[in-house]
Structures are given as structure tokens and as C-alpha cells.
Amino acid sequence: MRSVITGSGIGLPPNVVTNEALATLMDTSDEWIRVRSGIQERRYAEPGQGSTDLGAIASRLAIADAGLNPADIDVVLFATMTPDHVLPGNGPLLQVALGLRDIPTFDLRQQCSGFLYGLELADLLIQSGRYRRVLLVGAEVHSPFMPWHLGWDTLIGRETRTITEAERAENTLSRDRTVLFGDAAGAVVIEGREGASGLGPIRLHTDGSGAGVLTMHGASFKRRPFVSHAQIEAGDTLPVMSGKEVFRSAVTLMPQAVREVCEIAGVAVEALDLVLIHQANLRIIEGVQKALGLRAEQVPHNIERYGNTTAATLPLLFHECRAQGLIRPGMNLAFTALGSGLHWGAAFYRT
């Protein structure tokens, strides 16, 4: 029995936000953002649209793509770092949105590695014989993180106003992070089937000593109160990141993980048809490609159009590669990601 991806779908919010649009709110430019990240534009959710809503769009499409109905799903795995609420998690909210029957749902919190960890859990659930069809979702709505003063409606065209110099200066303080993220969802249906195709070796790693490299200090249950005006004003409710350390870890650890699963699968790295890398930064993607000695066509990317969508990047990229005909039967693929934790790893997949 192998765990096979039988359907995929994506959920994209309607608002396209360009680098030029961000430059109206802060001291940045299209060139500044492209040089540092490769991003040209990203999507922002509608007011009141959460990661469950985007996940539901992607899930309906994935279930239909697999030729199934919602009643056929046995278990839900929902990976996100931006849930609709602190509690409950997105799993039960998605269950209601899709009209699923009384089935278990899991909420995964491995941030950028959430979908990758979900692949491992889906495979283990199927191999256990307890479940046959798994719905795995990665969805994020990052835009509410942004500490802009009335900036959201300006960016999505709901109002036109002039940002004050004071607001512009405040917005600029967080530009190194806020320009990177976008909102999106991706979902896959994974089923147990006989045959040679499906998930192969998966290797996951965690190094908690690197937790401080990418973290968020505010809105914390270690603090009293959980959140305060002082935390917001200090920027503690925004992620903090050591960019150089994240880059170094990513271009070292992701290639190591890909080599690890290829060795177990008995496939040379250069024989991989595609490597689907977490879309955090184009410079990281290019660094991983170089470290693995791969050609550009072996490492597709779409960060230019979506930015970093955290747990959604891998299923979004996978779906688009399928839609573009880049993924065909009989190919060898690898998924890899690294995120806050630090969590990282890779999965081998034969189509």
C-alpha cells in the first residue's frame, strides 16, 4: 500500500498587491524587494476572510479533482501558523465549512514545514490501516500581521488616502518582514493505493536550539496580559527573524534532507525530475538548487507571484506544476522545507 496524491486544489484571495503598491505605504521599491526576495506581487485576503475560508476553497477543488465527495474523506490535517482563532483550531472549522461527517481533524503547527510534516502524518495514518483517504491542507492569511495604519484598505483598493509621514515611518520599521508574506491555501487528497507510485522515504528533523532564529515574542501565554498595547507598539506581535542565520540553515539543511531521502530511495539526486522547495525567498531557492547541483528547470518556483505563504507554499507549487503539465506519471519528485522551530526535512514522491 502506497500513499498517493489523487487530487489537488488551491485557494487564492482576489487582491493582488504589487511591490509598487507597498511602496505607497513605506520606504521601499520594486527593485529593493525583488533584489532581496525575488517577489513581485502577493495576494491579500478580503476583510474577514481567514485561513479556514481559503483552505475550504482549496479543499473543495482537491476533493473534486480526486473524483470524490466530502463524505469520502476519513481524516483532516490542517497546517497553518495563522489560524482563525487561538482556539479552536482550523480543523473543526473546516469540517463544518465542507460539511464533512464526524471524522477526526488534526491541527499542525510546524509553520513553513507544516505541509511537509503533514505528508509524514498522512502516510503514517494510511499505512496504519485506520484511514484510507486523508485531506491535507496548508493555508495562511498573513496580512493581519501587518502593523499598518489603515493600510490594508488602501492596498486592496477599497479606499484612496494619503499616508502621513509618521505612518510611513512606522510602516517602514517592519518592511524587512512584511514585504515577504502573502495569503493563500493549497490542499491535497492522499489515498492508500496499491502500486509503485506514491510517497517514499520521508525524513523530518527538529533543532529547538534554533528556535530563536525565527520567532514571535508577543501575544504569548508566558506574558501577562497575553497581548497589550505596549506589545503592539513595540512590534512584539510581529515575527522576528535572523535573516542570515535562516538563509545559512536553509541552504545547508534542505539539501542535506533531499540527499538523505534520495539515498534511501536509491535514486541519484540529479535523477530527480523536480524538487519542490518551500517558497520563502528566491535567493534561498537558488541556493538550494546550486547546493544540489540541479538545473533551473528541475527547481520550479512561483514566489514571484505569491510571496511566502508558509504552509501553503508546497501544495500551491505542486498544484500549479500539475496544471502546467510539469508533473507527469513516472516522475521522481522531492518536497523540502525549513521553518521556525527549527523544523525541516524532505519527502520523496514517485508520480
Q: Please give the chain's pLDDT, 351 residues, in tens.
A: 999 999 999 999 999 999 999 999 999 999 999 999 999 999 999 999 999 999 999 999 999 999 999 999 999 999 999 999 999 999 999 999 999 999 999 999 999 999 999 999 999 999 999 999 999 999 999 998 887 766 778 888 887 778 889 889 988 988 988 999 999 999 999 999 999 899 999 999 999 999 999 898 888 899 899 888 888 888 888 888 888 999 999 999 999 999 999 999 999 999 999 999 999 999 999 999 999 999 999 999 999 999 999 999 999 999 999 999 999 999 999 999 999 999 999 999 999
Amino acid at 171: N
Q: Which of 182, 199, 178 is nearest to 302 (CA)?
A: 182
Q: Are 1 and 126 in contact (CB under 8 A)?
A: yes
Options 19, 142, 278, 319, the catalytic residue: 278
**Catalytic residue at 302?**
no
Paired residues of 215 in beta bridges: 240
Q: What is the DSSP letter of 46?
A: P
Q: In the numeric block, which cell numbers belong to residue 225?
A: 496580559
Q: Are 276 and 300 in contact (CB under 8 A)?
A: yes
CATH homologous superfamily of 198-350: Thiolase/Chalcone synthase (3.40.47.10)
Options 171, 281, 308, 332, the catalytic residue: 308
The yes-or-no answer to whether 2-193 and 198-350 have a common fold is yes
CB atoms within 10 A of CB 299: 18
Amino acid at 201: P
Sequence-distant (≥ 6) Cβ neighbours of residue 256 within 8 angstroms: none
Options 112, 171, 262, 301, the catalytic residue: 112
Q: Are 140 and 183 in contact (CB under 8 A)?
A: yes
**Catalytic residue at 90?**
no
Can you name the CATH fold of 2-193? Peroxisomal Thiolase; Chain A, domain 1 (3.40.47)
192 by DSSP, 3-state: which?
strand
All structural domains of the chain with their residue ranges: 2-193, 198-350
**Catalytic residue at 308?**
yes
